[in-house]
Structure formats: structure tokens, C-alpha cells
Amino acid sequence: MQLATWAHDLAESLLAESLPKRWAHSKRVYSQALTLAPALGEDAELLAAAAIAHDVGYAQAAVDTKQHMIDGARYLRDVVGADPRLCSLVAFHTSSPWEASELGLTEALAEFGPAEPDLVDAITFCDLTSSPTGALVDPGERLAEVLERYGAEHVVYRAVSAARPELLAMVDRVKQRRAEAEGWALS
């Protein structure tokens, strides 16, 4: 867990004091990632590291484009020299492609591609099952909360609205893979 420990320390230094709710959320996303370890094999540590660091783009030191996924990935790549796969997972998590399209940042997102679909599904599952305050939450409720928080005129609202069916499909795919790894199928 060396990579995950490094990412934890970095994310804590950027979020814990200045953005305590983001830090609480990130810690839950991390704990959700740990539950997926049996389904991920050798990529379990990479997911754990990406989970704890997925929102570092909100930290003042990282803000550039104002799209936190790209900003976090650039900070990880350019400032701390993180593993390219880690940067990619941070860049592509949750509704990032839809938000990047809304903001005209598709080329900036492409700096971190190609995305690894199974791992993007996994980090999105972890994000969408973690509330803004760090509680476990139903993914549908989490998406409804995001839409309510941002309002119809905001880019995040438009991106999440467009992405919602695919985001829920990502969650379902992860649940299925986790069930298969645990030796039972969802009915």
C-alpha cells in the first residue's frame, strides 16, 4: 500500500484543513475502494490511491481550469510526478468526460487518456456511494443531491444530467464484478 499511503498523505495535506468536507468524502471514497480489492487484484492499490486523491483538484494549489478532475490530474502529474495511471483515474472519474465537453476541455482531458473503463467504473462507484460528508449513500440519491446542490444553470448539473444513465450503469457493472469476485451473482 505504498502508493495509497503516499496519495493519502498528499490528499490530507491539501484537503483536511482547508476543505474538511471534501476530506471526509475522500476518506469514504477510499474506504469504498478497499471493499473492491478482491475484484481488482493487482489494481487494488492503484484504485485506493486514486480514490483518496480523486478530489485534490478542489485544493487551491491545484485549481486551474476549474474542472476539478482535470485540475487534480494535472497537479498530480505536473507538481508531484504521480503515476500516469493514477492521474488518468483522477482525470476521468465520475462525470468528467461530460463536464469537460460542456466546458470545452475535451482536449485537456485527452492528455490523460485513454481511460481504463473497468477502473473508471470502480472509482465512479466509490465516488457515487459516498456522500459529501463521508456517509455511505445510494448512488441515485447521491446524483439527486448533486443536481440539487448545483442547480439547472450550472455546468455540473448539465453534465451529471447527461451522464446519469451511464453513471448508474457503471455502478451496476461494479456491483456485478464485485459479486462475481465474491462468488455469488446478483439476482
Read off the pLDDT of residues 135-160 as tens digits, 9 standing for 90 and up: 999 999 999 999 999 999 999 999 99
Amino acid symbol at 55: D
pLDDT at 39 over 70: yes
How much is the average pLDDT of 36-57? Answer: 96
pLDDT at 98 over 70: yes
pLDDT at 187 over 50: no
pLDDT at 182 over 90: no
How much is the average pLDDT of 6-32? Answer: 98
Categorize the per-residue pLDDT at 184 as very low, low, confident or very high, splitting at 50, 70 and 90: low
Tell me the C-alpha distance between 103 and 83, whole Å. 26
Amino acid symbol at 154: H
Tell me the C-alpha distance between 138 and 141, whole Å. 5
* Average pLDDT for the chain: 95
